[in-house]
Amino acid sequence: MSKIQTIEQLNELSNNVKSLLSIREQGEKSDDKTKADIKAIANGSKEKINILICGGTGCKSSESDKIVENFRNKISELGIQEEVKVLKTGCFGFCEKGPIVKVLPDNTFYVMVTPEDTDEIVNTHIVGGNKVDRLLYKNTETNESISDSKHMDFYKKQMRIALRNCGVIDPNNVNEYIAREGYKALATCITSMDSQQVINLMKESGLRGRGGGGFPTGLKWEIASKNNADQKYVVCNADEGDPGAFMDRSILEGDPHSIVEAMAICGYAIGASMGRVYIRAEYPLAIKRLEKAILDAREIGLLGDNILGTNFAFDIEITFGAGAFVCGEETALIHSMEGERGEPTMKPPFPAEKGFWGKPTNVNNVETFANIPVIILNGAKWYKAIGTERSAGTKVFALAGKVNNVGLVEVPMGTTLREVIFDIGGGIKNGKKFKAVQTGGPSGGCLTEKDLDTPIDFDNLIAKGSMMGSGGMIVMDEDNCMPAVAKFYLEFTQEESCGKCTPCRIGTTRLREILSMICDGKGTMEHLDELKRLSGVIKDTALCGLGQTAPNPVLSTLDAFYDEYLAHVVDKKCPSAQCQKLLEYVIIPDNCKGCTLCARQCPVNAISGSVKEAHVIDKLKCIKCGACIDKCKFKAIIKR
């Protein structure tokens, strides 16, 4: 690849490579095309057909690489490789239905594809012009086949800004990023704006940090720009550690150049010439694609010295983290990059004043950076008009748990929890009743049915006792035990505590111990009071955000589900039948056929009874292993 030395050369390249994406853009903009459009290949047409296969981590684990290989082999076998292009993209977001294959230009969306399905798709669809109905998405209510993703409830209310290129481009091809206006924002900044103009634009846009804190991005950049030093740093926080969260990882896997470009823009704005991406080593695919993006950008002159013929210089290096949750806090992250223990320090001074190696350092997370180029190109007013007054733009959520449509969703701020869970998420699995949703990961809180119409933004979620966090959203149904949920999150935060401050090191340990006693049936009313008091002390005195927010799951579940705590403490019962030590297994006499299968499976001989007569369980012997329930063919055994 030759170096791009002027903005005119960048524009010329962008125009020349737009043809790479023309078929994809046609498919995205037009509704269902006729069979003739896709069948044209069989009649000798040279119109290109694109087969896009999800190459994100989730689909790769379900053999999407093999799907790509099989498609290419079949296309080659038929001799139509000039007309049909097969490529891997980033995550489409609809993880519940992966691996996903999209055929363009007719925009057909195939779900749960296996390597064995590729021949049928090629023969029936690509050559024959007929869609493979069994692989199309089925509406959960009507069972109607839907072939175009634009008509799926999962996508209807989404607005993809940070995820704009994921599932659309080949993340390993810099030309495809350039064809989507890539690096034009950087070119605009360094050739026609001064640093303060860039900062002012970011301030006017209303963009707030998407890593959890929600600090105004433009203001953070301005603080760093005003601190003079011989060297400044731009740091991208890619240490995404919330249970069930994969927003940042998916952006890096599907659109790494957007992060490279945004970091360079930030460097220009604050006067930094060096960038660092801090990413946990357990994200090998994201690392691989990011490394290639940095090398390609460097090779064509969009990183390094004299970018686009200007005197602006900027480069990026990658630093690997070992997967410590506390390193999501910016001062702990910086210490880890310096080779020290990942422990936070008191602020001030803030990293914008004294950060990496004591130099002014700006830290933003991946999703925050992903918004930057599109804001520069479309303007602050455009972005500010999306979302709510105090929370502009969109937010990406990893929707997980007991919901039908698990996946990655991006919605405008102000979208309600109900819309995300029931419209986009398709409601609760197996017809169960919604119970709660945990937003903000271990640092957030549980919201209930009365909160479903809450517009999602930074301030509303905090007012409800939860928080936005980085974007984890875990849905729970009637079978979830809320004291056990609180215990799960406390086990995580206690394990991830760096141990530097006593409130977090000892406090989270005591909270976990109390919750364990409650879930084991050993809790007392005094323990409930102690949970509240201790949670308040930890929130007020812990050193960093990890400790200060660790009690949130406890306080929110105590507030909304106090009756469940009382049942565990007073009645020694788990209403959701999840806490193993509070369960009892019972055989329903009317359902038992006396087949003796349960008795033969019991490892401690706790079940007795004659053949063809109702059996009974000795509660003193029963170890509550569940083997009897698993083997009973007549649903005669229940746990309560």
For residue 352, give the amino acid letter. Answer: A
pLDDT in tens, 162-194: 999 999 999 999 999 999 999 999 999 999 999
pLDDT in tens, 354-384: 999 999 999 999 999 999 999 999 999 999 9
Q: How confident is the model at residue 346 (pLDDT cuts 50, 70, 90)?
A: confident
DSSP track, 554-620: HHHHHHH-HHHHHIIIII---TTS--GGG--EEE-TTT-----HHHHH-TT--EE--TTS--EE-TT
Report the Cα–Cα distance between both ends of the chain, in Å, rounded.
67
Mean pLDDT of all residues in 187-212: 94
pLDDT of amino acid 42: 47
Torsion region of 400: left, alpha or beta (phi above 0 gives left; psi -120 to 50 gives alpha): beta
**pLDDT surpasses 90 at 29:** no
**pLDDT surpasses 50 at 271:** yes
**pLDDT surpasses 60 at 631:** yes
Tell me how far apart the alpha carbons of residues 175 and 296 are, in angstroms, rounded to a whole number. Answer: 10
**pLDDT surpasses 50 at 640:** yes
pLDDT in tens, 586-622: 989 989 998 999 999 999 999 999 998 999 999 888 8
**pLDDT surpasses 60 at 125:** yes
**pLDDT surpasses 80 at 319:** yes
pLDDT of amino acid 412: 96
pLDDT in tens, 568-581: 999 999 999 889 88
Lowest pLDDT segment from 44-48, 204-208, 542-546: 44-48
Q: How confident is the model at residue 327 (pLDDT cuts 50, 70, 90)?
A: confident
From the number of C-beta atoms within 10 Å of its C-beta (0-12, 13-18, 19+), residue 495 rates as: exposed
**pLDDT surpasses 70 at 26:** no
Model confidence, pTM? 0.90
Q: Report all structural domains of the chain as residue ranges with CATH numbers, in order of start.
A: 16-155 (3.40.30.10), 174-384 (3.40.50.11540), 394-477 (3.10.20.600), 482-571 (1.20.1440.230), 584-639 (3.30.70.20)
Mean pLDDT of all residues in 38-58: 72
DSSP track, 36-61: HHHHGGGGT----EEEEEE-SHHHHT
**Top-confidence residue, 81 or 436:** 436
Mean pLDDT of the chain: 90
